[in-house]
Amino acid sequence: MEFFAQQFINGLTLGSIYGLIALGYTMVFGIIGMVNFAHGDVFMLSSFIALIFFLILTSWLGLTSVALVFLIVLVVAMLLTALWGWAIERVAYRALRGSFRLAPLISAIGVSIFLSNFVQVVQGARNKPLPPLVRDVIVLYQNEQYTVTLSYKQANIMATTAALLAGFWYLVQRTPFGRAQRACEQDRRMAALLGINVDRTISLTFVLGAALAAVAGLLYLLYYGVVSFSDGFVPGVKAFTAAVLGGIGSLPGAVLGGLIIGLIETFWSAYFSIEYKDVAAFLILIVVLIFKPSGILGRPEVEKV
Amino acid sequence: MANTSTLGPIAPAMTRPTGTAFPALLKDAALFALVTLGLSIPVVAYRTDLGQGTGLELTARWGLVASLCLAVFVLRLAQRLILGEVSRRRDARIRARADASAVAAPKALRPGRALGSLTLAVALTLPALAALGSGGLSEGRYWIDLGILILTYVMLGWGLNIVVGLAGLLDLGYVAFYAVGAYSYALLSTVFGLSFWICLPLAGLFAAAFGILLGFPVLRLRGDYLAIVTLAFGEIIRLVLINWVDFSGGSAGISSIPRASFFGIPFTKGEGGFADLFGLSFSPMHRVIFLYYLILVLALITNVVTLRMRRLPLGRAWEALREDEIACRSLGIDTTITKLTAFALGAMFAGFAGSFFAVRQGFVSPESFNFLESAIILAIVVLGGMGSQIGVVIAAIVMVGAPELLRNLGFLKAVFGQGFDPSEYRLLLFGLAMVAMMVWRPRGLISERHPSVRLSEAKR
């Protein structure tokens, strides 16, 4: 039971990170119906941005307050990654609206290959470790053999995720931008006729998705303490699985899917085999797509001519 | 169709490059440089390296950032100036054509045929050319090896072209079938001692069976879901090969796979070998040349089958499916069977190529079959212009052959410094090329994707 509780906490932490990445997939899919294959690599890139700013702030500027460093890095990483998201949409995707069906996906694969190799070229191929900033843990429960703990890192990850999701939910549900975005999701042409700047809304969607990926990248870096140029692919596919499982296009679905995937992966590693944990995630993806492509919270898709 | 004045100008007012004033162009290019500056902070500006201590050390590289921004500025300016001129001329031409509306559209040029014959001639005589060019058979080995490598990718590209180019199904896990073929031969030959010539068709059959197995449940999915599922399938195959050590040897792979023989005659020195039987003096090059012609024949078979299939009702159904699936279904085409045949046929050729890969290397390991390999094959098909056969050849030469050649060019090292390795930038350029291709020429470098069958031809 204690073991289960500990794994549950670990799974929720991992799931929060997946959920944040999955939001980027699901929003972009919702609005232009495209699988943004490069999203996982944007996430990896943001991890590198966060890593470098951590180093600048701690070793060059000598800041010691962990909370301050974390906040500065969070904001800077979100801004710079958002700029990447904007530039990618502008260069690689915008011109392809109205092109043939698979063009955006192929372009996104190109961006994905470019990004991971770009980081490899400019930062080198080796793993980049970050010394842990906080090691403290909160002991939740203790008996003779086992201790269930929640580390400050994990608490921070969950709190940051929850806070950002609340802010994000407010943005999408309660602001003019969110209304424009939902309108574009439903009918892009009609939205344009009603005076919504569709291109700008789509751009902003990519920017938001990238900013959320940056949060995930920062949290991932804090949690694992290491990042490498190839770290975008597998978390990216898992987050996509989460988005599909939750119902692609649905925002709460993405978070729910992320949590489920995180839990499944953690329990699978804990109780079955750690070698096949990625196989488990890929199998879930295949099974969900075959049997329930609309996911848990998604609407069934209507094929239009 | 994609907008031709792409690479997104910053301000919407500047979308038309025609007749834009020069200061506006400068401003636009400066904006591009500014964005580049933003993007290069901090990933380019600071390099992280493992220092002597425990942590990472930062090295500032603002000079690199500055040259990058300058390069973007100049390139953008050049692009706007040149493209602006080009599109102005094209606009003028289109207007002139519209004025003389009675003029019929120019007959489509078919550069493919002549180019195809030329490439085929070069391919057939490559060993001789290499021997003449470098003064001896053994000295020409480098070129023949390069030819084998390129032809392997040409064959894979042609195989994937059936799936992606003809049937319009995006397969991101194509390399899984390549792996199935390679491991089929590796296991059948090392465990059961079967010869290459028995294993080759078996490998193709296994790969096709896997294609059907995967295709049956997933081919109902819409385009991008299908792509992701095939990607997942490819990764699963690789992960199983890594982790199922008893079966596949794990990440160590399978080594000492038997070499190919000349239809049963081994390429060995001495009694009963190939050289002995044919009265030649022994040379290790015999086997290399044999392998070269083997992959050439395999690739040509792929090509001929594809070309013939395109004229059969099934091939026409593939192309119709690519253009409009709903229309196909309304016309009574069984989309599942149509997709499945394309999938299985493509997989079969990957299986053949895989067993060739295994017999040539004498060693297989899961790392040869990662997603990147799938992406490279896909890039070859995409850059060649999906559906174009000769385009695949050119793309394979450019994407596989060119980096190999660049690696050996000394003067690049002299320009960029000793540590410069062009192959490091290979994949980076692949990625950029894929994007550029989709943005500018989504139908491929050689846009030769005419329908295989035309109504007017049928009437004649």
Q: What percent of chain A has pLDDT over 90?
A: 19
One domain, residues B27 and B156 = no
Q: Is residue B3 part of a domain?
A: no
Q: Judged by CB atoms within 8 Å, which residues 356-375 of B form the interface with A?
A: 371-372, 375
One domain, residues B254 and B338 = yes
Q: Is residue B10 part of a domain?
A: no
Judged against a pLDDT cut of 80, whether residue A245 lies above it is answered with: yes
Specify the amino acid at residue B89: R
Q: Round to whole Å and give the CA distance between A191 and A185.
A: 9
Q: Is residue B364 part of a domain?
A: yes
Backbone angles phi, psi at B343, to 5 degrees: -60, -45
Pick from A26, A32, A52 the residue to mutate for testing the B interface (most B CBs within 10 Å): A52
Q: Under an 8 A CB cutoff, do A92 and B439 touch? A: yes
Task: List, in sequence order, the alpha helices (H) in A56-129.
Answer: 66-88, 103-123
Residue B46 distance to chain A (closest CA, Å):
7
Backbone angles phi, psi at A163, to 5 degrees: -65, -45
What DSSP designation does B361 have?
H
One domain, residues B158 and B29 = no
One domain, residues B80 and B130 = no
- Spell out which residues of chain A touch residue B326, defining contact as CB-CB under 8 Å: 303, 305
Judged against a pLDDT cut of 50, whether residue B450 lies above it is answered with: yes
pLDDT in tens, B221-243: 777 788 888 888 888 888 888 88
One domain, residues B229 and B311 = yes
The least confident of A267-271, B29-33, B264-268 is B264-268
Domain of B204?
Answer: 126-450
Mean pLDDT of chain B: 78
One domain, residues B231 and B370 = yes
Residue A97 distance to chain B (closest CA, Å):
7
Q: What pLDDT sits at residue B181? A: 92
Judged against a pLDDT cut of 70, whether residue B414 lies above it is answered with: no
B288 touches chain A (CB under 8 A): no
Considering only CB atoms, B243 lies closest to which of A109, A117, A276, namely: A276
Q: Which of B72, B95, B118 is the last residue of a domain?
A: B95
Residue A215 distance to chain B (closest CA, Å):
16
Tell how strand A147-151 and strand A137-142 pair up.
antiparallel
Residue A263: pLDDT band with limits 50, 70, 90: very high
Q: What pLDDT sits at residue B419? A: 60
Is B15 strand, coil or helix?
A: coil
Residue B7: pLDDT band with limits 50, 70, 90: very low
Cis amide linkage into residue B23, ω under 30° from 0: no
- Spell out which residues of chain B touch residue A126, defining contact as CB-CB under 8 Å: 50
Q: Is residue B395 part of a domain?
A: yes
Q: What pLDDT sits at residue B14? A: 41
One domain, residues B90 and B134 = no
Q: What pLDDT sits at residue A278? A: 83
Q: What percent of chain B has pLDDT over 90?
A: 12
CB atoms within 10 A of CB B27: 14
B130 touches chain A (CB under 8 A): no
| pTM listed for this prediction | 0.83
Q: Is residue B108 part of a domain?
A: no
pLDDT in tens, A273-304: 777 888 888 888 888 888 887 778 777 666 55
Considering only CB atoms, B427 lies closest to which of A94, A113, A283, namely: A113
Q: What pLDDT sits at residue A246? A: 87
Q: Under an 8 A CB cutoff, do A286 and B218 touch? A: yes
pLDDT in tens, B325-354: 888 888 888 888 888 999 999 999 999 999
Q: Under an 8 A CB cutoff, do B3 and A95 touch? A: yes
Q: What pLDDT sits at residue B107? A: 45
One domain, residues B90 and B137 = no
Pick from B37, B48, B225 the residue to mutate for testing the A interface (most A CBs within 10 Å): B48
Q: Round to whole Å and give the CA distance between B45 and B201.
A: 54
Residue A30 distance to chain B (closest CA, Å):
14
The least confident of A112-116, B190-194, B372-376, B415-419 is B415-419
Based on DSSP, count helices (H) and strands (E) in chain B, helices before strands: 19, 2
Q: What pLDDT sits at residue B349? A: 94
One domain, residues B402 and B346 = yes
Question: Going by C-beta distance under 8 Å and a sequence separation of 6 or more, which residues neighbour residue B367?
Answer: B251, B253
B243 touches chain A (CB under 8 A): yes
Residue B213 distance to chain A (closest CA, Å):
13
Residue B48 distance to chain A (closest CA, Å):
6
- Spell out which residues of chain A touch residue B242, defining contact as CB-CB under 8 Å: 275
Which residue has better confidence, B127 or B447? B127
Judged against a pLDDT cut of 80, whether residue B443 lies above it is answered with: no
From first CA to last CA, the distance across chain A in angstroms is: 53
Judged against a pLDDT cut of 80, whether residue B146 lies above it is answered with: yes
> CA nearest A160: which of A245, A71, A238?
A71
CB atoms within 10 A of CB A139: 9
Q: At what angle do helices B174-191 and B335-361 cross, to 10 degrees?
A: 50
Judged against a pLDDT cut of 60, whether residue B4 lies above it is answered with: no
Considering only CB atoms, B435 lies closest to which of A83, A92, A102, namely: A92
Q: Is residue B118 part of a domain?
A: no
Q: Round to whole Å and give the CA distance between B79 and B29.
A: 10
Cβ contact A210:B39 at 8 Å = no
Q: Which of B56, B74, B95 is the last residue of a domain?
A: B95
Which residue on chain A is closest to B1 by alpha carbon?
A99
Q: At what angle do helices B285-309 and B313-323 cross, to 10 degrees?
A: 80
The least confident of A113-117, B12-16, B24-28, B248-252 is B12-16
Q: What pLDDT sits at residue B160? A: 92
Q: Round to whole Å and give the CA distance between B434 and B236.
A: 25
Q: Which one of A248-257, B155-164, B375-384, B402-411 scores highest in mean pLDDT?
A: B155-164
Q: Is residue B371 part of a domain?
A: yes
Q: Is residue B359 part of a domain?
A: yes
Split into its structural domains, chain B has a count of: 2
Residue A206: burial class (beta carbons within 10 Å; 0-12, 13-18, 19+): buried
Pick from A48, A106, A285 the residue to mutate for testing the B interface (most B CBs within 10 Å): A106
Which residue has better confidence, B270 or A18? A18
Cross-strand bridge partners of residue B254: B364
Which residue on chain A is closest to B44 by alpha carbon?
A122
Which residue on chain B is closest to A44 by alpha carbon?
B43
Q: Round to whole Å and give the CA distance between A205 and A24.
A: 8
Residues in chain B: 460
What ipTM was estimated for this complex? 0.83
Q: Which of B95, B114, B143 is the last residue of a domain?
A: B95
Mean pLDDT of A193-220: 90
One domain, residues B229 and B143 = yes
Q: What pLDDT sits at residue B13? A: 43
B353 touches chain A (CB under 8 A): no
Mean pLDDT of A43-68: 85
B442 touches chain A (CB under 8 A): yes
Pick from A90, A218, A279, A288 the residue to mutate for testing the B interface (most B CBs within 10 Å): A279
Q: Give me the CATH number covering residue B414.
A: 1.10.3470
One domain, residues B88 and B184 = no
**B220-224: long-range pairs with CB below 8 Å, 24+:** B220/B336, B221/A289, B221/A290, B221/A293, B222/A301, B222/A303, B223/A101, B223/A102, B223/A105, B223/B168, B223/B169, B223/B170, B224/A34, B224/A35, B224/A102, B224/A105, B224/B170
One domain, residues B91 and B131 = no
